[in-house]
Amino acid sequence: MSKPDLAQNTPAPVSGSPVQRVAGAASSSADQQDAIALPSELSSSLAPQKMPVELLSAVDLALAHPPKEVPQMQLARSLEEAGPKTFVYIDSQGRVRPPTQYRMMQAASYAMLTTILVGGSVLYTYLWGVMGLLFPLVFGSLVGRNLLVTRRINQAALLSSHDRLDEAEAILRRLLRRKLLGRRLRALCHHNLGAVATRRGDHAEALTQLRQAISLYQESWRKSPHLRSCQYGEVIALCNLSRIDEARERLLSVHKAEQGDYLQLKYWTTELYLRFCAGEEPPPASELWERAERALKITASSALLALCAWAYTQGRTPDQDMAWHLLREAIDRLDNEPLGRIMPPLWKWMAQNRSAAESAA
C-alpha cells in the first residue's frame, strides 16, 4: 500500500490570511535572498525528515486493518434456527429458550436489583443515618462492575464467533488480571479462552483453559449448563490430542441427567467424535437415525452431520447413500466455520470423501 500524500492533505490557507501575505512578500523579493536567508541550524531543523521504518510499518498496518466495531449479538429463536455466528439463550437444564424469555429474565433481574438498592438505601439510612448512604454506593458499584464484566465477556464471545480471536483473547486476559473478580466470571473467561484456543487449533491450550473453567464451575456454579458444555469441550480437546482413553474416562464422568436440547446436541456430537477418533463401532441404527434426523433440522450442525455420515459408512450394513447425503449437507452448512482447526481428524475424513459424496448426488 502506498504512503499517504501529506502535502495533499494539508489545509489550504484562507484568502487574505497572514500566511498568504507573508508568502507573497517573500516571493516578490526573491532577488534579495541574503535578506531572508535562514540560519543553517534552523534551516536543517525545518527540512523534511524521513519517517522511521517502524512508524511507516505501523501506519501501513493501521491502514490495512482499520478498527472494526463489535458485532451485535443475535439471539436465535430456537436451536434449529441458530447459525454459527448467532447465540441461543439456555436455561439451567440446557434447553434453548426464545429471546423474549431472555429479555423478560433480564428485566426481572434489573427490577430486583433496583428494589434491593432502593429498599436497602431506605432501611440503612433509617438505621444508621447518613452512614447508611454507603450501602447504595458499595452495592451499586459491585453490581455495576459485574454487569460491565459480563458485557465484556459477551463481546469477547461475539468476536471469537467472528474469528477475531486476538481481540477476544485480549479482552478476556485483561479481565482475568482484575483483582476481586468472582469465580463465576473467572470461569466464563477461561471457558471463552478455551473456545478461542480451539478455533485457533491450539488444543493443548484449549484443554488447559477448559480445565481451569471446569474447576471454577464445580466450586461455584455446579448447576450451570456451562459446566457440562465445558466438560464436553474437554473431551473433544483430548480427542484432538489423541488421548483417547482419557477422553473416554472424562465423558463417562459427566453427569448427563435432565439434559435439554442444546446439551443433548453437544453430547451427541462429543460421543460420536470419541467413537470416530477411537475407531469404534457406531451407535445402534435407531439411535444413529435419531441423531441424523435431528441434525438435519438444525442450521449449525455441520460437525454432527459429518459424524453421522461417517457412522453410516461403518458397521455391518453401511448405507453409502445416506452417508453421502449427510456429508453433502454437512459441507453446505459449514458457513466458514473453521472445522479444520476445531476437529482436524473429522475435517480430514470429510476432505477425503467429498468427491465421492458429490459424485453420488
Q: In the predicted model, what is the mean pLDDT of the chain?
A: 81
pTM of the model: 0.76
pLDDT at position 7 = 34
288 located within any domain? yes
pLDDT greater at residue 289 or residue 28: 289
The mean pLDDT of 216-234, rounded to a whole number, is 94
Q: What does the buried/exposed string (b/e) look like for 326-355 if buried means 16 or more CB atoms within 10 Å of the residue's CB?
A: bbbbbbebbeebbbebbbeebbebbeebee
pLDDT above 80: residue 21 = no
pLDDT greater at residue 15 or residue 343: 343
What range does the domain containing 289 cover? 284-361
pLDDT above 70: residue 42 = no
The mean pLDDT of 304-311, rounded to a whole number, is 97
List for the chain the helix, strand, coil content (%; round to 5). 70, 0, 30
235 located within any domain? no
Distance, C-alpha 182 to centroid of its chain: 21
pLDDT at position 156 = 94
Model confidence pLDDT, tens digit, residues 90-117: 888 888 888 887 788 778 777 877 787 7
What is the rounded distance in angstroms from the CA atom of residue 179 to the CA atom of residue 70?
25
pLDDT above 90: residue 208 = yes
DSSP 129: G
Q: Which of 76, 139, 133 is nearest to 102 (CA)?
A: 76
Which of 121-125, 185-189, 200-204 shows the lowest per-residue confidence on average (mean pLDDT)?
121-125
The mean pLDDT of 207-228, rounded to a whole number, is 94
pLDDT above 80: residue 306 = yes
1 located within any domain? no
Q: What total number of domains does the chain contain?
A: 1
Cβ atoms of 241 and 207 within 8 Å: the answer is: yes
326 located within any domain? yes
What is the rounded distance in angstroms from the CA atom of residue 156 to the CA atom of residue 166?
10
Model confidence pLDDT, tens digit, residues 166-199: 999 999 999 999 988 999 999 999 999 999 999 9
29 located within any domain? no
pLDDT at position 72 = 79
321 located within any domain? yes
pLDDT above 50: residue 32 = no
144 located within any domain? no
pLDDT at position 6 = 31
Instruction: State what percent of residues in the chain have pLDDT above 90.
Output: 51
3 located within any domain? no
pLDDT above 90: residue 230 = yes
pLDDT at position 76 = 83
Model confidence pLDDT, tens digit, residues 308-335: 999 999 978 889 999 999 999 999 999 8
The mean pLDDT of 117-128, rounded to a whole number, is 76
pLDDT at position 90 = 85
- Please provide residue 320's backbone torsions phi and psi, each rounded to the nearest 5 degrees: -65, -40
